Amino acid sequence: MEHSENKNQAAKPGDYAVGLDLGTTKIVAIIGRYNEYGKLEIIGYGKARSLGIHRGVVNNILQTVKSIESAVQQAETTSGLKVSSVVAGIAGQHIRSLQHSDYITRENADSVIEENDIKLLTENVEKLNMLPGEKIIHVLPQEYKIDGQAEIKEPIGMYGARLEANFHIVVGQVASIRNIGRCIETAGLSDSTITLEPLASAEAVLSQEEKEAGVVLVDIGGGTTDVAIFKDNIIRHTAVIPFGGNVITNDIKEGCSIIEKQAEQLKVRFGSAWPGENKENEIVSIPGIKGREGKEISLKRLSQIIHSRVVEIIEQVYMEIKNYGHTEPSKKLIAGIVLTGGGAQLKHIRQLVEYVTGMDTRIGFSDENLASGSPEELSTPMYATGIGLLMEGIRMNKKQGVEVKPESPIHDHREETAVDGDVQAEDAAQPSNDLETESRPAKLMDKFINGLKKFINDDVK
């Protein structure tokens, strides 16, 4: 990352990292670093409507590149830094995971196990032959075994001749991974690494205690729902379900015979996952198209449509939890479920998840990792993946020996909220509007807040 202005001249390029969330409904670039208290200072961020990605997979290179450029340009404008490399996220229905065990025999059993031994073992696993067209994305070690002694979490410093480990391997389609890299490269950037998005979201919203006790991270995005299960501070299971918030919007569109923009507004502003909350006489008025007569839609009917699809998503998630084997005493998930992503903001979804699964559930926010004065918008569940990718980028800097120092002030840019008037409620309270307008990069720093009004009509992840 290079400087584009002098105001941050005291900072070093390695002080910062950039997380790039390539979502189905939005693309977000976040620049930040840790302060002396171990909290994330957000130096700048930008977002743009995602028009070239479907269910986590790139289907239009040019549109995706434009969205990346727009989001990155906004982040550069607010931070005064020139972005050169990013940590990008990957998801999509092409992702799968598997368990694998491997071992190495050390030449000198009288010397202690070092980092190079772990690296050699991991490289062995990375050489595994996958199905045609697949590539290994992550090799995540779980428990180690040394000369038959099992359940070793940290083998470095111990003696032994045979070093063995169980691994959780995440695999994706080569074409999909290369397309993401192509988009990033065409946008004038380099990807320092590509990270599985549920792992990034988990980093942002889960505590160490939850990972120790056993927890399910459910990230409900626009195109997919990502699942990651942790137990004893170890990743145990990952999955990507090819349904997200967009299918809920599409069901509303078809069920109410309205356009997609109106369906998204209805979902965000008046939608609920629990139909019993609404009364029969609660009505929403939808303006007609081009002078045509408007429509009146029952909020109870709206909730019933949403409820049906959300239950389907939850049942798919619960099937993954069952596949993990959560009923076994050693695999109990004491911390339950943590919901994050844009879909986690749907009213009463937490209660519905608890009802369907019987597991304790909470909504995951990333605000505990953010420094005071950070943009409030970034603490919402829909930005958890971007925050997690930023944290991964900073972790990589530290691993490479880059020292992160808080030498520059935070620029706190808060978004002004505008309410679209296309939908009016009768006999119902009108919640705040989370909708966002179409991308329009800010030209000057002092115009950034007005520039963020561009998202009012966008889909949100």
- Write out pLDDT tens, residues 362-419: 999 998 899 988 999 999 999 999 999 999 999 887 776 544 333 333 333 333 333 3
Residues in the chain: 461
* pLDDT score recorded for residue 167: 95
Q: What is the pTM of this model?
A: 0.81
Domains of the chain: 96-173 (3.30.1490.110)
Average confidence (pLDDT) over 432-447? 36
Q: What angle (nearest 5°) sits at the alpha carbon of residue 159, between those of residues 157 and 164? A: 95
Average pLDDT of the residues in 72-93: 92
pLDDT at 225: 94
pLDDT in tens, 30-58: 999 999 888 999 999 999 999 899 888 89
pLDDT tens for residues 302-356? 999 999 999 999 999 999 999 999 999 999 999 999 999 999 999 999 999 999 9
Share above pLDDT 90 across residues of the chain, in percent, rounded to a whole number: 66
> Given this model, what pLDDT does residue 401 score?
57
